[in-house]
């Protein structure tokens, strides 16, 4: 599927319903495990999932059964003893904890503190083929992280490592881009039969704000089977307040997200958050075509992979950015040197504009003082430059800004799509000392395509007869052609333009003063 869009034709989807969903109070858990919350040190049951009997191989819990009873009425005594000891050593130190229990049933146990002061325990049967704790894969990954200078290489190795640890079919490194919060798959490792989403984008509604917020609090998320059953938490919501499962790993899943996974053909979904400076940078997102349980021990190693990425990726990106800034600064200083040696910097600039345009990745330049316009390279017509400069000056003076970087002139000022081949992008720098003179750098439209995982304009489709919203059905590659936008202006280009303005306009100010002084001398 193909579609062409311009900034004027794109519109934001109303995702307020997804963004308001209280998924942490869903009051159900995935039925592959059981949940119980209890007071400590009394060890009295506050809430329990209806499937506790099936998981523990004891009598089924009826509605309200077990609530208020002692914890050892539901769980084996030695398991209660282990939970109690872990609660003292782990939770009281402010850490959630997990352990494997080898009793009548092999269990993967996770303990966490709850908002009401209770302790939550999640009990998941360990399958016989559960993967062991593989430290070798992680050690090799750390070696790569310490030696690579490439974001792409480190991202790819992370996907390979996590797929080796989990045995899932597809592992992707999914990066978020605020403030719109769309995501893009920047690396991927998969089995041959699995569909590739590398270099595909996904709209913000695929991971709405409540889910993103929970990732900042609860780093890992496992859905063992998107077609599996849920178990209600007792007593049911309505007889008591909703149970806050923000720190739960067994919490049930939004109906919309389950439908989303089914539409993708995904049974198991496992994701690990990558957080940088308290902001969600991205996810390690994993999919499996068959249900698979991932033990807490393996999840912990995957968390370590994500935390290593959170440490090294920003450093790599900073190093790359600094190298670009150093190269830019060196070239800028060389241009300044030539301008200082010239008798007339402005005239020299207009005659030898190519190095400046190359430095700023621009195609045209203009100096505007009132109705006086000097320009070089690929630019709009003189009259259009004057009209554009009036609009820019008004906006900058209104906002109290001396610099304005625009990727889409027609998005900011509708009606200017006609100059997209010369000036889709504009970097404008104001000189208040010269009656609002402007230095303008122009970039033409950068016609490019973006691949989406399905039509982003159908991220949430029409409501069904029950009044429920539904996720999109198709995830086939949907190609969008972007028109009317230039490449974005980088931070060092913006600051460099400010320095360039000072160099050029300071020379004009000095010339003006010299002319004024000569005029005064002649009068004298």
The string of DSSP codes covering 471-494 is E-S--SEEEEEE-S--PPPPHHHH
pLDDT digits (tens, 9 = 90+) for 167-201: 999 999 999 999 999 999 999 999 999 989 999 99
Q: Where are the alpha helices (DSSP H) in 400-490?
A: 409-412, 420-423
- Residue 506 inside a domain? The answer is yes
Q: Does the pLDDT of residue 524 top 70, yes or no?
A: no
Alpha helices in 247-372 (DSSP H): 255-264, 296-341, 345-351, 354-359
User: Among 67-81, 182-196, 309-323, 496-510, whose mean pLDDT is lowest?
Assistant: 496-510
pTM for the predicted model, two decimal places:
0.82
pLDDT exceeding 90 applies to what percent of the chain?
59
* Closest listed residue to residue 283, CA positions, set 196, 199, 180, 158: 158
Instruction: For residue 102, list its beta bridge partners.
Output: 106
Query: Once rounded to an integer, what is the mean pLDDT over residues 21-41?
Result: 82
pLDDT at 506: 67
- Convert the pLDDT of each residue in 373-422 to its tens digit: 999 999 999 999 999 999 999 999 999 999 999 999 999 999 899 999 99
pLDDT confidence of residue 465 = 36
Residue 84 falls inside a structural domain: no
Structure tokens at 519: 């005029």
Per-residue pLDDT at 12 exceeds 50:
no
352 within domain boundaries: yes
- Check if the beta carbon of residue 291 is closer than 8 Å to that of residue 94: no
* Per-residue model confidence as pLDDT tens digits over 255-303: 888 888 988 889 999 999 999 999 999 999 999 999 999 999 999 999 9
The verdict on residue 371 lying in a domain is yes
Distance separating alpha carbons of residues 333 and 517, to the nearest angstrom? 31
Give domain status of residue 41, yes or no.
no
Give a yes or no: residue 48 inside a domain: no
Write down the pLDDT at residue 453.
78
Structure tokens at 442: 């122009």
443: nearest Cα among 502, 505, 379, 385: 379
pLDDT score recorded for residue 523: 55
Residue 23 has a pLDDT of: 52
Indicate if the pLDDT at residue 455 is higher than 70: yes
Q: Which residues of 100-114 are buried (b: 16+ CB within 10 A; e: fewer)?
A: ebeeeeebbbbbbbb
| Residue 479 pLDDT level (bands cut at 50, 70, 90) | confident
Instruction: Please name the helix (run of DSSP H) or strand (run of DSSP E) that holds residue 154, with its range, or none.
Output: helix 151-166
Segment 56-67 mean pLDDT: 63
Rounded mean pLDDT, 65-71? 81
> 13 falls in which pLDDT band (50, 70, 90)?
very low
Could you read off the pLDDT of 215-249 as tens digits, one per residue? 999 999 999 999 999 999 988 544 567 788 989 99
Q: Is pLDDT above 90 for 62?
A: no
pLDDT tens digit sequence for 115-174: 778 899 999 999 876 555 556 789 899 999 999 999 999 999 999 999 999 999 999 999
pLDDT at position 367: 92
C-alpha 426/C-alpha 486 separation (Å) is 9
CA-CA distances (angstroms) from residue 93 to 35, 88, 299? Answer: 22, 8, 21
> For the chain, what is the domain count?
1
- Position 511 in a domain: yes
Mean pLDDT of the chain: 84
How far is residue 255 from each of residues 79, 214, 230, 405, 471, measured CA to CA in Å? 33, 17, 11, 42, 10
pLDDT (tens digit, 9 = 90+) per residue, 352-367?
899 999 999 999 999 9
pLDDT at 459 over 70: no
Tell me the backbone φ, ψ of residue 152, rounded to 5 degrees: -65, -45
- Asked if residue 487 has pLDDT above 90, the reply is yes
pLDDT of residue 480: 81
Split at pLDDT 50, 70, 90, the class of 58 is confident
- Percentage of the residues of the chain whose pLDDT score is greater than 70: 83
Tell me, what's the pLDDT at 131? 57
| Three-state SS at 54 | helix
Question: Quick check: is 373 in a domain?
Answer: yes
Domain range for residue 389?
A: 342-447+486-523
C-alpha closest to that of 280 among 328, 327, 214, 338: 214
Distance, in Å, from the CA atom of 393 to the CA atom of 385, rounded to the nearest integer, reads: 12
Q: Please check the confidence at residue 48 and state whether its pLDDT lies above 90.
A: yes
**463-483 mean pLDDT:** 61
pLDDT bin (cut points 50, 70, 90) of residue 340 is confident
| pLDDT over 70 at 518, yes or no | no
Q: What is the CATH number of the domain that holds 401?
A: 3.30.450.270
Q: Which residue has the tokens 């539901």?
A: 74
């Amino acid at each position: 599927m193909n579609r062409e869009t311009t900034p004027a034709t794109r519109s934001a989807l109303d995702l307020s319903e997804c963004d308001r969903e209280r998924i942490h109070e869903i009051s159900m858990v995935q039925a592959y495990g059981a949940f119980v919350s209890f007071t400590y040190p009394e060890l009295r049951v506050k809430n329990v999932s209806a499937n506790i009997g099936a998981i523990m191989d004891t009598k089924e819990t009826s509605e309200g059964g077990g609530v208020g009873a002692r914890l050892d009425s539901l769980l084996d005594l030695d398991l209660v003893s282990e939970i109690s000891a872990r609660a003292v050593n782990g939770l009281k130190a402010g850490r959630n904890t997990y352990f494997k229990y080898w009793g009548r049933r092999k269990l993967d146990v996770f303990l966490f503190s709850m908002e009401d002061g209770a302790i939550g325990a999640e009990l998941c049967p360990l399958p016989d083929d559960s993967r062991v704790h593989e430290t070798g894969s992680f050690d090799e990954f750390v070696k790569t992280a310490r030696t690579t200078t490439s974001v792409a290489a480190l991202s790819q190795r992370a996907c390979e490592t996590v797929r080796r640890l989990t045995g899932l079919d597809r592992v992707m490194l999914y990066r978020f881009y605020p403030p719109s919060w769309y995501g893009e798959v920047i690396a991927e490792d998969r089995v041959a039969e699995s569909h590739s989403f590398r270099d595909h984008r996904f709209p913000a509604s695929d991971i709405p704000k409540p889910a993103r917020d929970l990732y900042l609090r609860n780093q890992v998320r496992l859905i063992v089977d998107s077609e599996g059953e849920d178990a209600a938490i007792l007593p049911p919501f309505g007889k008591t307040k909703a149970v806050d499962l923000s720190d739960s790993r067994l919490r049930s899943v939004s109906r919309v997200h389950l439908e989303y996974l089914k539409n993708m053909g995904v049974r198991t979904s496992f994701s690990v958050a990558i957080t940088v400076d308290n902001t969600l940078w991205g996810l390690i997102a994993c999919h499996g075509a068959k249900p698979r349980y991932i033990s807490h021990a393996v999840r912990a190693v995957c968390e370590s992979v994500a935390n290593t990425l959170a440490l090294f990726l920003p450093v790599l990106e900073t190093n790359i950015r600094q190298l670009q800034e150093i190269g830019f600064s060196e070239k800028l200083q060389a241009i300044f040197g030539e301008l200082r040696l010239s008798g007339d910097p402005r005239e020299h600039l207009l005659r030898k504009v190519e190095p400046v345009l190359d430095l700023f990745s621009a195609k045209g330049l203009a100096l505007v003082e009132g109705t006086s316009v000097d320009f070089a390279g690929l630019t709009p017509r003189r009259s259009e430059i004057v009209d554009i400069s009036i609009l820019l000056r008004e906006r900058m003076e209104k906002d109290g800004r001396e610099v304005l970087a625009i990727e889409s002139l027609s998005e900011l000022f509708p009606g200017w799509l006609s100059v997209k081949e010369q000036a889709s992008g504009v970097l404008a720098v104001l000189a208040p000392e010269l009656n609002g003179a402007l230095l303008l750098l122009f970039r033409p439209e950068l016609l490019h395509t973006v691949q989406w995982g399905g039509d982003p304009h159908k991220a949430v489709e029409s409501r069904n007869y029950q009044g429920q919203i539904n996720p999109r059905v198709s995830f086939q590659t949907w190609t969008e052609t972007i028109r009317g936008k230039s490449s974005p202006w980088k931070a060092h280009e913006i600051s460099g333009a400010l320095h360039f303005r000072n160099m050029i306009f300071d020379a004009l100010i000095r010339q003006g003063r010299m002319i004024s002084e000569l005029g005064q001398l002649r009068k004298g």
